[in-house]
Amino acid sequence: MLAVICSDTMGLKLTTQKNKKTIEEHANAEYRHENKRSENKIKECSDVTTDHWNIQSENHVFTEQTYVQLNDTDILLFGYHETQESEDGEADLHKNLVGCKKNPGHRQFIPVDTFNLKLLPEGLRDNDLYEYIKVTADLTVRVSVQVTSPHRPKFWLETTQPYPFYNRSDTRNLRTGSGWVCDVEEYQNGVWQDGYGGTDYTKCWCRPCKDSDSPSNVWWEFYVYTATHVVFDEIEASHTTLRFFYNSDDSAMVTADNVIVHYVDIESDRCILKCVTCDKHLGNKLKADCKQYWHVKENLYDKYCNTRSKHKFNFIVSHPHGCSKQLSVGQWKDLQNGGHNKTKFTYTTCTCPGSSGARVHSLGWKEWGSAHVHSGSLKPGLNCSTEGGVM
């Protein structure tokens, strides 16, 4: 059950009335679905020098990128946000795509519908990796926000770097980012069908059911990772819409708009949204995709842990400029370790406005406690994630 927003020296955090500790332990699918292994079975992987690759096809060219030396002070900063803002709503999104100055032509992005095994680097053309990327794409959503909270801070915590959209609550510009469905729970009459425990509801709480005299007694609740600077608090969540399976301009409009904040932390820039549907097709599809995701993910960790610092393969599926879903691949550069299970990746993988909140995948690493999502751009050719945990 959600409680009130509390303020502390670390910023605004949503917590439960019963126990703060249970938020990530029970809401965070990265933690819940990981298989616990004894310490003596954890593989230690040493860093080795990595070579860059060129990936080319008829339609997509991935050019060699030179890593930029990261200054010590840069690690302490948050990247420049990559939320797409549109004054004229949906109508402006394609204009922003065409007029993009960061990645003109978007040649380093692959439409997810055209992605195939041959577009992976040689040596990584693995069916499991291909399936992992495809199911990740299926779980990627566009996050659209219509309202800006008056509670956004002026600066990122402990910095003088301006916080995105501070003092903009008087505007109604559309903002879009990306998100990733990490877990789905099916309920019937308030009872969780795949585990122990229940929910606060006995009937579906989606908007149509709330207005109905006969709400559905079967529904699906799902959790979506994004960045806090994309959806800051309950005020913004109540004006947020998630769009699913937006793979091309011709994709059907599949949305959910009854969104609440399940967890938010300004310092780490991590946010977990909770949403609901009684649409059987949508609920069963997301549930099956999540099951497939966790199955393939475990296989990939076993395959690539020992070589993760050699290939440094990294990929992101996002909605650049609020438009259809795109895949970008590159390499992670550094892993900053701040202690207490706080790590942050930097990477060369291509992103654009609209990519904020997208899941960041680094092959061979196992997330522990919380996932990394895209936070922003540090400098040309170098991006950074939110805080997360890996081993």
Task: Assess if residue 70 is contained within a domain.
Answer: yes
Task: Assess if residue 94 is contained within a domain.
Answer: yes
Task: Assess if residue 342 is contained within a domain.
Answer: yes
Task: Assess if residue 42 is contained within a domain.
Answer: no
Task: Assess if residue 153 is contained within a domain.
Answer: yes
Burial of 382 (0-12, 13-18, 19+ CB in 10 A): buried
Q: How far apart are CA 97 and CA 109, in angstroms?
A: 12
- Domain interval for residue 211: 2-34+50-385
What pLDDT does residue 165 have?
97
- Which two tokens mark 370? 């919380």
Question: CB–CB of 354/319 below 8 Å?
Answer: yes
Number of domains in the chain: 1
pLDDT digit string, tens, across residues 243-290: 999 999 999 999 999 999 999 999 999 999 999 999 999 999 999 999
Mean pLDDT in residue range 315-324: 97
Q: Using the Cα atoms of residue 208, residue 172, residue 327 and residue 357 in order, give the sign of their dihedral.
A: negative
Give the three-class secondary structure for 250.
Answer: coil
Task: Assess if residue 206 is contained within a domain.
Answer: yes
pLDDT-wise least confident of 161-170, 174-183, 190-199, 293-302: 190-199
- Phi and psi at residue 298, to the nearest 5°: -65, -40
Task: Assess if residue 84 is contained within a domain.
Answer: yes
- Specify the amino acid at residue 187: Y
Task: Assess if residue 21 is contained within a domain.
Answer: yes
How open is the CA angle 270-331-336, to the nearest 5 degrees?
A: 50
Question: CB–CB of 269/279 below 8 Å?
Answer: no
Specify the CATH number for the domain of residue 245: 2.40.10.120
pLDDT-wise least confident of 42-56, 195-209, 228-242, 342-356: 42-56
- Phi and psi at residue 77, to the nearest 5°: -95, 155
